[in-house]
Structure 1
């Protein structure tokens, strides 16, 4: 599947739960302010900006596969100078950095990547020994209600077509294999309640169903999103987050 190139401007105007996901994750990353940190799946740079605030004498390497997201990030952070390196890369492929980093950070990206073994090895290769990896993404049970609504609309199970929602045991196994000997991994329910109608449909169409909409003609996209929204029992996206805190051997 080709990489998604998100509607970055609309994305940043929505009431995203990603904001508190990023804040909570950053709180779990101890920093003294001089480190180099890799931001995997940086998107429009909301969390990159917070990272830079925490790193007055450090730097961030911001990586994403979407050109439009990275354009928004550059517009958001025009004065970051040499404290920010921006790189477009397909995170489904091995990632190589010019220099190792002290920590890696990722919000709401893991579930879009089908091969976590490759990703975790890329993170380990990017980190110095003792470097920390903190991340969160969709885990087992994520958006189950949306998946049921989708199945009613499409007549098929779409979870494995576009998403990767692993469980704790599989994630721990892959992290250990990549060089993180004692990872902390947990699943945390975190439902997002939205306003029914246009706000819910905008959220679904921009944040959740982008891969599905890319396969449809433009005139079928809005009716498709509305059909999915109408089949939800309430205007809730039932997120379940997979949280990772690991230290490289």
Structure 2
């Protein structure tokens, strides 16, 4: 899996929308309190901590590929505060768990991984029979208008000479693709759907912060010294092209939610 350099503190300050959508997904879990939960792509840990707070006799393990994210989580959410919460550095493409969890959860992480089939195979092994899967990620059409503007800019001077080319795209899939991979992993789909969301920003700096902290597939391919100007250009072009009546900046998002179960044998 390709790794990116994350700034946990910066991400923590510019991920309110992701945290809100994760909270909505946690509500759908309807936790009883005694479950053992695995959070894939846990990031800086605030969502994982919310799950832990709902587990009176259970526990949650947060897994993330970023060493910096895991270090941030451990420093800001120590065991004395959350004795049922643990963080480990690891790759969701290589899960080594064997029927250890009642729930596998993931929010705003799987669109970084192209091979969902392999992830689902690992999830299936990690779950106990009857275990549940709740995943939310960017889906087909996510952030399409602003990403199209970025592609437009990169075809123009001076960006076309500075940009080293996209090595890959975000893994924004549709429900039918996900259903196929679930079936191959012997996970029974309960609900697989695209859900439209509005990501709203009050200020230009807020939009710039979201781009700066999450657009690694674009920014990593530009010289570091050119990235601020590129971000400013995307922001300026977007607000000019897509003005809003309420004075806020709205980016249309599409989230793919996957709910499934591992059949009891």
Bigger mean CA deviation after superposition, 117-126 or 147-156? 147-156
- Do 1:5 and 1:67's aligned partners in 2 also have CA atoms closer than 8 Å? no
Residue 80 of structure 1 deviates from its aligned partner by: 5.0
Secondary structure at the aligned position of 1:47 is classed as: helix
Residue 193 of structure 1, CA deviation: 1.5
Residue segments in structure 1 that go unaligned for 5+ positions in a row: none
1:241 pairs with 2:241: no
Of 190, 193, 198, the match for 2:205 = 198
Matched, 1:35 2:41: no
State the 1:107 CA deviation: 0.4
Q: 1:132 to 1:227 in 2, by over 3 A?
A: same
Distance 1:245 1:99, change over 3 A: closer
Indicate the SS of the match to 1:161: coil
Distance in 1 separating the partners of 2:189 and 2:260: 7
Whole-angstrom distance in 2 between the partners of 1:15 and 1:176: 32
Among 170, 173, 196, the residue aligned to 1:189: 196
Comparing 218-227 with 193-202, greater Cα deviation is found at 193-202
The aligned counterpart of 1:12 is 12
Which residue of structure 1 lines up, in the alignment, with residue 227 of structure 2? 221
Shift of 1:64: 0.3
Deviation at 1:98, TM superposition (A): 6.1
SS at match of 1:105: strand
State the alpha-carbon separation in 1 of the partners of residues 72 and 184 from structure 2: 35
Q: Moved runs in structure 1, 4+ residues, more than 3 A?
A: none
Q: Following the alignment from structure 1 to structure 2, what is the Cα–Cα distance between the partners of residues 101 and 58?
A: 10
For 1:202 and 1:212, locate their aligned partners in 2 and report how far apart those are by CA, in whole Å.
Answer: 14
| 2:60 aligned with 1:46 | no
Q: TM-score, normalised by structure 2?
A: 0.87
CA distance change for structure 1 residues 7 and 113 in 2, over 3 Å: closer, same or farther?
same
Per-residue deviation, 1:18: 1.1
Q: How many residues align?
A: 246
Q: Equivalent residues in 2 for 1:95-244 (5 A)?
A: 95-97=95-97, 100-155=100-155, 161-207=168-214, 209-232=215-238, 233-234=241-242, 235-244=249-258
Alignment partner, residue 25 of structure 2:
25
User: Does structure 2 retain, via aligned residues, the 8 Å contact 1:147–1:159?
Assistant: no
Distance 1:90 1:162, change over 3 A: farther
How far did residue 77 of structure 1 move?
1.5
For residues 164-213 of structure 1, the C-alpha deviation after alignment (integer angstroms, 9 at most, x for no partner) is 00001111111121111233111011021113422211221112x12321
TM-score (norm 1): 0.92
In structure 2, stretches of 5+ residues that fail to align are 243-248
